[in-house]
């Protein structure tokens, strides 16, 4: 079983952003029910962020504090990963002062209810040597204030340099059937060689690989609920139409494997990862977590994986993961 800093997790993680992200606030009753279900059914790698809210930005951390105040018995059953290290403009800040401020802020809002098992800067600061950032975070690990350190959207070279300063507990990277850059840029192979688990965020391509998005109206519903998606290439109607053929082909393939498209998308990552990848799909209710976990019981064969790759090669995806402006901030 995959482990994060020695703690067994998986095979499916739990992205918490949707509970509080920007334009919505899920009621505690619903959130707590989902979180209880995750603990009870083994989705114990939880992914949060210092900025996963609008008013206040720390709303996700405050939700976690309320949950663990009510469920203290679950605190040691969960591996909590939190992203930080961003300023008010959502630009990465890896200098000592900024990183210390971020870690302290996370710990303050958790209110001692849960250990910060893993802290990661949400993006690599190109203006600060990664060795300096890691040395700052190592002080917190050595003092026992955080359990371990991870990286997010880091290049293979950055991963190796950071790992030389302090063992990296996990690398978070976007990875799905539609976003396979880490297969090509050395991140996947580097993490495997260093035995660093990969937490695959957006494993369902932000909802585009659920099978629920078939028309422009479906697309508009996602964008209206998550307005920042309107800036992402693949949520532009004209680009989405070009990618729809791939969605339809993959959905037909999933049906032939007796899976839903969502299940196949998650099973694909688990199978390709060979025990080194944990998808962290988001969920805001227990039913969605249950659906996500079903994928773990439906592994793909090597032949099926080859067939999926053949479909993706035949119908290549159009559009950047984010957009032309944000793309240079990825895999630094």
Is 316 within a domain? no
CA pair distance 57, 1, nearest whole angstrom: 34
Q: Scanning the structure block, which residue is given the tokens 């630009």?
A: 91
Confidence grade of residue 320 (pLDDT, cut at 50, 70, 90) = confident
Q: What is the pLDDT of residue 23?
A: 67
Q: Residue range 31-35: average pLDDT?
A: 98
Is 309 within a domain? no
Is 88 within a domain? yes
Query: Cis (ω within 30 of 0) for the bond into 11?
Result: yes
Q: How many domains are contained in the chain?
A: 1
> For residue range 71-92, what is the model confidence (pLDDT) as tens digits?
999 999 999 999 999 998 889 9
Question: Which domain covers residue 121, as residue numbers?
Answer: 3-207+269-297
Confidence grade of residue 135 (pLDDT, cut at 50, 70, 90) = very high
Q: Which of 37, 52, 67, 175 is catalytic?
A: 52
Is 315 within a domain? no
Cα 12 to the center of its chain, rounded Å: 11
CATH assignment at residue 11: 3.20.20.100
Alpha-carbon separation of residue 148 from 4, 49, 144, 192, 315 (angstroms):
9, 16, 9, 18, 40
In the predicted structure, residue 323 carries a pLDDT above the cut 70:
no
CA pair distance 242, 259, nearest whole angstrom: 24
Is 325 within a domain? no
> For residue range 164-217, what is the model confidence (pLDDT) as tens digits?
999 999 999 999 999 999 999 999 999 999 999 999 999 998 888 988 877 777
In the predicted structure, residue 24 carries a pLDDT above the cut 70:
yes
Query: Cis (ω within 30 of 0) for the bond into 296?
Result: no
Helix and strand tally (H, E) in the chain?
Answer: 12, 10
Q: Residue range 235-261: average pLDDT?
A: 91
Helix locations, the chain, DSSP H: 28-40, 59-70, 96-110, 130-142, 156-165, 181-184, 187-193, 216-225, 237-256, 261-273, 286-294, 302-314
In the predicted structure, residue 34 carries a pLDDT above the cut 70:
yes
> For residue range 145-164, what is the model confidence (pLDDT) as tens digits?
999 999 999 999 999 999 99
Catalytic residue check, 67? no
CA pair distance 268, 188, nearest whole angstrom: 15
Is 161 within a domain? yes
Q: What is the pLDDT of residue 90?
A: 86
* Greatest extent of the chain over all pairs of C-alpha atoms, in Å: 54
Residue with the larger pLDDT of the pair 132 and 220: 132
Is 122 within a domain? yes
| Total-model pTM | 0.93
5: DSSP letter: T
Confidence grade of residue 328 (pLDDT, cut at 50, 70, 90) = low
Q: Are residues 229 and 206 in contact, defined by beta-carbon separation less than 8 angstroms? A: yes
CA pair distance 1, 222, nearest whole angstrom: 34
Confidence grade of residue 329 (pLDDT, cut at 50, 70, 90) = low
> For residue range 270-315, what is the model confidence (pLDDT) as tens digits?
999 988 999 999 999 999 999 999 998 888 999 999 999 999 999 9
CA pair distance 251, 243, nearest whole angstrom: 13
Is 239 within a domain? no
């Amino acid at each position: 079983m995959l482990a994060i800093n020695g703690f067994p997790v998986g095979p499916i993680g739990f992205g918490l952003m949707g509970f509080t992200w920007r334009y919505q606030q899920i009621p505690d009753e619903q959130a707590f029910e989902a979180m209880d279900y995750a603990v009870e059914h083994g989705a114990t790698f939880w992914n949060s962020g210092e900025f996963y809210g609008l008013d206040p930005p720390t709303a996700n951390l405050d939700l976690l504090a309320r949950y663990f105040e009510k469920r203290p018995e679950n605190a040691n059953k969960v591996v909590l990963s939190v992203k930080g290290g961003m300023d008010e403009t959502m630009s990465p800040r890896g200098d000592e002062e900024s990183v210390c401020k971020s870690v302290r802020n996370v710990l303050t809002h958790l209110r001692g209810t849960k250990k910060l098992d893993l802290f990661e800067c949400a993006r690599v600061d190109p203006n600060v040597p990664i060795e300096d950032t890691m040395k700052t975070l190592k002080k917190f690990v050595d003092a026992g204030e955080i359990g371990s350190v991870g990286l997010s959207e880091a290049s293979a070279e950055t991963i190796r340099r950071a790992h030389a300063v302090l063992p990296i507990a996990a690398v978070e990277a976007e990875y799905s059937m539609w976003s396979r850059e880490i297969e090509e840029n050395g991140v996947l192979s580097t993490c495997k060689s260093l035995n660093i688990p990969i937490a695959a965020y957006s494993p369902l391509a932000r909802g585009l690989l659920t099978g629920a998005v078939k028309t422009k109206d479906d697309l508009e519903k996602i964008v209206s609920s998550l307005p920042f998606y309107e800036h992402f290439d693949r949520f532009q109607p004209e680009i989405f139409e070009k990618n729809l053929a791939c969605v339809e082909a993959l959905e037909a393939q999933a049906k032939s494997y007796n899976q839903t498209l969502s299940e196949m998308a998650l099973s694909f990552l688990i199978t390709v990862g060979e025990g080194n990848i944990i998808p962290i799909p988001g969920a805001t209710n227990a039913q969605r977590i249950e659906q996500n976990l079903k994928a773990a019981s439906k592994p793909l064969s090597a032949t099926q994986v080859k067939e999926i790759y053949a479909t993706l090669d035949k119908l290549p995806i159009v559009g950047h993961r984010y957009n032309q402006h944000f793309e240079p901030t990825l895999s630094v």
